[in-house]
Amino acid sequence: MSDEGSAASASDAMTGDTKDHGVLYIGMDLGTSRTSVSASNGVRETVYSIVGYPKDVVSRKLLKKDVLFGKEALEKRLSLKMFKPLEKGVLVYSDGNDAERQEVERAAKDLIREAIRLARPRKDELVYAVIGAPAQASINNKEAIIEAARATVDSVMLCSEPFAVAYGLDMLEDALIVDIGAGTTDLCRMHGTMPEDSDQITLTVAGDSVDRKLSEIVSRDCPGASFSLQMVKDIKERYSYLGDPPERVLVTFPVDGKPTQFDLTTQIKEACSVLVDPIVDGIRRLIGSFDPEFQHRLRNRVVLAGGGSMIRGLDTAIESSMLRDLGGGRVIRVEEPIYGGANGALKIAHDMPEDYWEQLK
């Protein structure tokens, strides 16, 4: 397995025969922004973690559906009551608000059901799923995710998202995984054993932080522009970079109803830079608290995963900051950032003994 993040072992798990042809194994990365699944039948799918329900009888008649997901929900959002059931990787609702809690739990169940449907299980198959969760998610949040999944699958277990990435890449020792999602950035040091709490850090600075920062900057630098957070997110996903700009970032926003062009080249870089210092600080904390004889191994195999790892130049920016703060280091990026966690979760599911799955039913 090369350091460049080849996912050959995860692919083997996806395309190889299952241990039991009556079982479909599924790895799921249940994220704040996207939910991705990899299945033992070779299916891989991703959907935005957005659920919408018709607002009234008119919208239900128009849409002819009781629930919409992902891009379709976004496109029809004016007719829908919208839910992003996961925030910072966990189910989110106000304490004490039972009605809100029930709505969010319903949306989470429907989202997981849709993700399982996308994996195309046969009616005669059992479904065993491993779901990635933030490294330091609370016990209550983990239990809520498990309960949401049990409505759809026959047996389910959770693992930390960065551990799933490491497992899928066979990087089980001498590696420091940095999984940058929308709601959280999860760091995990791998040293040949199951990671403990002290081996993992969850940061709340992640992809959504870039969106919020860019939104603030657009408000500051684009006078009169009307825009939504989704528009800002789309711009970030298309143009994000650090270092030298690969192209000019020219975007159009309406000003008093008139389409107006703005140059956001430097602003995109400013927004993306909010990730670097917190990530390097997390790397420093995990390396600095590790056995000093082996710290250099972690420093020289920092692995970026998750959707945030697709920011152009982020690996180089982190390396430069590590050189300044830690005396050096090497950063590599996985080849499949969207499916890295799901691939690893699938490999875990496939490798678990059958009797373990039976106990979890």
Long-range contacts of the stretch 12-17 (C-beta < 8 A, 24+) = 13/40, 13/343, 13/346, 13/347, 13/350, 13/351, 14/38, 14/39, 14/40, 14/42, 14/44, 14/343, 14/346, 15/42, 16/40, 16/350
What is the fold, at CATH topology level, of the domain defined by 8-49+84-168+339-360?
Nucleotidyltransferase; domain 5 (3.30.420)
Comparing C-alpha atoms, which of 210, 157, 161, 211 is closest to residue 187?
161
* pLDDT < 70 positions in the chain: 1-21, 88-90, 92-96, 136-139
Kindly compute the dihedral angle of the four CA atoms of residues 37, 161, 103, 227, in this order, to the nearest 10 degrees.
-90
Beta bridge pairs of residue 54:
80
Which of 298, 331, 303 lies closest to 317, judged by CA? 331
Q: Can you list the positions of beta strands (E) in 110-257?
A: 126-133, 155-160, 173-180, 185-191, 200-203, 250-255
DSSP reduced 3-state for 129: strand
Can you give the pLDDT at residue 12? 44
Helical pair 314-326 and 276-288, crossing angle rounded to 10 deg? 50
What is the SS3 assignment for 169? coil
Say if residues 156 and 146 touch (Cβ distance below 8 Å).
Answer: yes
CA–CA distance, 158 with 164 (Å, rounded to integer): 10
| CATH superfamily, region 171-333 | ATPase, nucleotide binding domain (3.30.420.40)
Q: Please, which residues have CB within 8 angstroms of residue 11's CB and are 6 or more apart in sequence? A: 343
pLDDT of residue 3: 39
| C-alpha dihedral, 2 to 181 to 233 to 333, nearest 10° | -10
Contact indicator for 214, 341 with CB cutoff of 8 Å? no
141-to-134, 270, 335 alpha-carbon distances in Å:
10, 33, 30
Other beta carbons within 10 Å of 274: 15
Per-residue tokens: 118:
């996308």
Q: Where in the chain is the domain with CATH 3.30.420.40?
A: 8-49+84-168+339-360, 171-333
Contacts of 346 (CB under 8 A, 6+ apart): 10, 13, 14, 25, 26, 27, 38, 39, 40, 130, 168
With tokens 């490294």, the residue in question is: 135
Rounded to the nearest 10 degrees, the angle between the axes of helix 265-272 and helix 229-239 is 90
Residue 99 has what pLDDT? 83
pLDDT at res. 221: 97
Plot region of 328 (φ>0 → left; ψ -120 to 50 → alpha; else → beta): left
Return the structure tokens found at 173: 């020792």
- pLDDT of res. 140: 73
Quote the pLDDT of residue 98: 79
Q: Please tell me the distance from the alpha carbon of residue 241 to that of residue 34, in angstroms, as a whole number.
A: 20
